[in-house]
Every structure is written in structure tokens, then in C-alpha cells.
Homo-oligomer: A and B are copies of this chain.
């Protein structure tokens, strides 16, 4: 490998055996040296969870031809932390996460293990991006998501980006001929309206399954939800300074304790 070769850390939240991570590896392999560190089991909805109370396991796996790959017993965030400290012993040039089986647009970013893994790398100052495909199925056709992942990753590797740059990219389910391109967006003001499915176990005791319906209250045409509905892949630049500066200013002038 040439001294200029980029090191690309690949992770996800669906687990190392999910078709989406294989698609992502194929998409970015031509761009540098790929190292995979991903959960050994599905970790959807884990948000930015880390493992504190139990120790972590890390095992090398041989499932991607010619690619160094590890599976970890922890969360997506644990994978990124371990990758840097115990496998790479340096910061990778980029961290790519996904390709997630299912959407992570709008408020879903908060719950997403895919995006939390990418955010963890971004906090470390590593340019990072999460990719999610709006097709949940195991045998989804990843042709378009792979093209988008390749294009965005290549662009990021060859651009001057501020430290901590983080992108949330979602890809619509659309025929190649109908694809509108990649659009820079803001996070839509949309959310889940949840109800719990209440059931009784064989002993008569209640238990609950989370269910929900997605509601978009945002009519803007610059949101990720709008872009996806109009056959664009959405790219939202993401920050992790959660300070609400406008409200801060208001409180400073109006609130006394």
C-alpha cells in the first residue's frame, strides 16, 4: 500500500453480518485501506449507548475477502472507541457507518446506532458519515446506496473539512433513472407518535411492544424528508454541540433565579 493510502473505518448497527455493511465495504474499498469493526449482533435503536457494566469482547472474523474485520460484543459507539484504541492505534482518515437497513432521517438520528457510531468518530475529530437506505428488507438492492456511499465518501476524502464534520445521508428506494441526485438538507421537524401494543403473557401478566407512526409536521422543501419524497438522497450536516443558543440568549436577559 502506498503511503498516501487512506484508512477507512467501516462500522454499522445492524451487525457485521448484515448485507448493508457488505455493500458499504464494496462501495468504499476502491478509496483506501478498509478496516471493519462492527457489532456481533443487531444494535438498532441503541442510540449513543456505551457499555459500562460488562467487559467487551473483540474477535477477528474472516467474512470479507481481503479485508481486515472484527466483531465486537458492544454497541456501535463501543466499536468506534475500540477500533481506534485497540485495532488501528491511530485515527482513521474517515469513518463510514451503515449502510443501515431503514431510514435515519429527521429525529430518527437521535435513536440511531448507525449515526451514533459516526458521531462518536466525529467527536474524536474524524470526518464521519452514516448511510441509511429506506429499504428495510434483507435482500434489498443496494446498487444505488453503494453509488451514493462511494460518491460522498470520495468527496469527503478529497475535501478540506472542518474537524468533527459529520453527515447523515439517507437514500430513497427509487429506480436509477428516477434518482434526482444528492441534496444538502436540514433535519425535518418530524417525529414518531408512539403507542404500545399491550399483550398478556401465558401467566396473565401484561407486557408491551413499542409501535409507532411517523408524522412529519414540517412543510419545508429544504428538509431531508422532503428530499427523500422527491427522489433525492438527503445529506444533513450534523453538529454535536447541543446548546440552544437562541434560547440561551433569551434566558440570559430574561431569567433571574
Q: How far is the CA of A86 from the CA of B181 in the complex (A)?
A: 43
Shortest Cβ distance from residue A244 to the other chain B in the assembled complex, whole angstroms: 4
**Within 8 Å CB of A81, what residues of B?**
194, 196, 210
Q: Judge if A61 is at the interface, Cβ distance under 8 Å.
A: no
Q: Judge if A207 is at the interface, Cβ distance under 8 Å.
A: yes
Of the residues B44, B55, B152, B187, contact of A243 by C-beta under 8 Å: B187
**B241 x A237 contact (CB < 8 A):** no
- Stretch in contact with the other chain, from A22-30, A45-53, A138-146: A45-53
Shortest Cβ distance from residue A74 to the other chain B in the assembled complex, whole angstroms: 9
Question: What sequence of 0s and 1s flags, for each residue 228-257 of chain A, a beta carbon within 8 Å of any chain B beta carbon?
Answer: 000000011111111111011001100101
**A85 x B123 contact (CB < 8 A):** no
**A82 x B208 contact (CB < 8 A):** yes
Q: Judge if A109 is at the interface, Cβ distance under 8 Å.
A: yes
Q: Judge if A107 is at the interface, Cβ distance under 8 Å.
A: yes
User: Which A161-209 residues have C-beta < 8 A from chain B?
Assistant: 162, 165-166, 168, 181-182, 184-187, 189, 191, 194-196, 198-199, 205-209
Of the residues B48, B52, B207, contact of A210 by C-beta under 8 Å: B52
**A50 x B123 contact (CB < 8 A):** no
Known: A47-B116, A240-B107. A247 touches B55 (CB 8 A): no
**Within 8 Å CB of A168, what residues of B?**
242
Chain A interface SS verdict (over half): mixed
Known: A155-B257, A198-B86, A248-B184. A210 touches B51 (CB 8 A): yes
Residue of B nearest to A198 (CB): B86
Q: Judge if A151 is at the interface, Cβ distance under 8 Å.
A: yes
Shortest Cβ distance from residue A6 to the other chain B in the assembled complex, whole angstroms: 19
**B56 x A45 contact (CB < 8 A):** no
**B248 x A208 contact (CB < 8 A):** no
**A182 x B240 contact (CB < 8 A):** no
Q: Besides A57-B207, A155-B257, A159-B255, 16 other CB < 8 A contacts? A: A48-B110, A50-B210, A51-B210, A55-B208, A56-B196, A82-B208, A85-B196, A165-B247, A184-B252, A184-B255, A186-B245, A186-B248, A236-B243, A238-B242, A239-B242, A240-B242
Chain A residues within CB distance 8 Å of chain B: 42, 44-53, 55-58, 77-78, 81-82, 85-86, 107, 109-111, 116, 119, 123-124, 151-152, 155, 159, 162, 165-166, 168, 181-182, 184-187, 189, 191, 194-196, 198-199, 205-210, 235-245, 247-248, 251-252, 255, 257
